[in-house]
Structure 1
């Protein structure tokens, strides 16, 4: 575990940590639901459902919309495919970087600290989103929801990113916004910082007891590289 030393690599979650992607996710989910005869959930509800990948997002939305709460696999798959189609059209259009993100990534890059994205988001949407936001050049490795057999909170995606980076997990820092990120980092034997502004299903991230709770990324990254 890191102990007052500069990490050899930093792994970042994407949605809710670097990027506020809910406007695009909500647009796609509303479009899919409306097309299939459901009421559009709306952005406020979607904010509370993001965090475990696209399929889980759709499942939570269906559970809210169906009066009997019975989600048949065929229906789930149908809505999921519609959502993916609409998200392919909206991805990146209204998403925005959180304050201080670009500056934080620049600090790490100047120190030649390799960075990776480790997200539960489908990998097909990751490169385009990063490119559209102007931050794709910072990351040596991209790990999406389908890149390993299990997703966060499993440590598998973190271990995979470390192998690709050639860095031991104990010498890495995971930065996320949810209890899934904290749990994955703990299971990987990795230090973990969590932002307080992300998507954690309405639960204060402090309850998950990360090593660091951050109001923004820039100051924290500046502090760890100056040690």
Structure 2
């Protein structure tokens, strides 16, 4: 059952990421190299790629050597993709209205895959894999991501999300928004640890 779900979820994940890449290149307003850099500057894309890679690893690698089978890795990835889904539903869904393949891809990336990952986590994460000491390490990925988009945005003028667009909302509001998202990471991480420790 676990392997079958991993295969199915990996296929869904790669379809969503590759479909979004196709659409991004088809609708690009910049040269291909810049379009690719911008594509991989979205936390949504990076995290969905991480999720797809995780599920792929569950079907092809040895549990003892796989990076994705380190203690707490499934919970960390689940937190990341849940943030993708929640932030999109709360802050981004209302600002555009995709159609056709873009709508399908959009729902997969921001709704379906977060839910599937949470279900997989509930079924297969082990209680003894989770400790409070893991929480700071889980925050490394989003922290590095924020530093990257701030530095690149400063030099390129491109910020992937409106709530971190320093050019439009300023550093003060960007800092407030970033702290809000960081709090969401902490709350979700703590929640997953508590759920597994209780149940």
Q: Under a length normalisation based on structure 1, what TM-score does the superposition of the two structures give? A: 0.26
Q: Under a length normalisation based on structure 2, what TM-score does the superposition of the two structures give? A: 0.29
Higher helix share: 2
Higher relative contact order (CA 8 A, sep 6+): 1
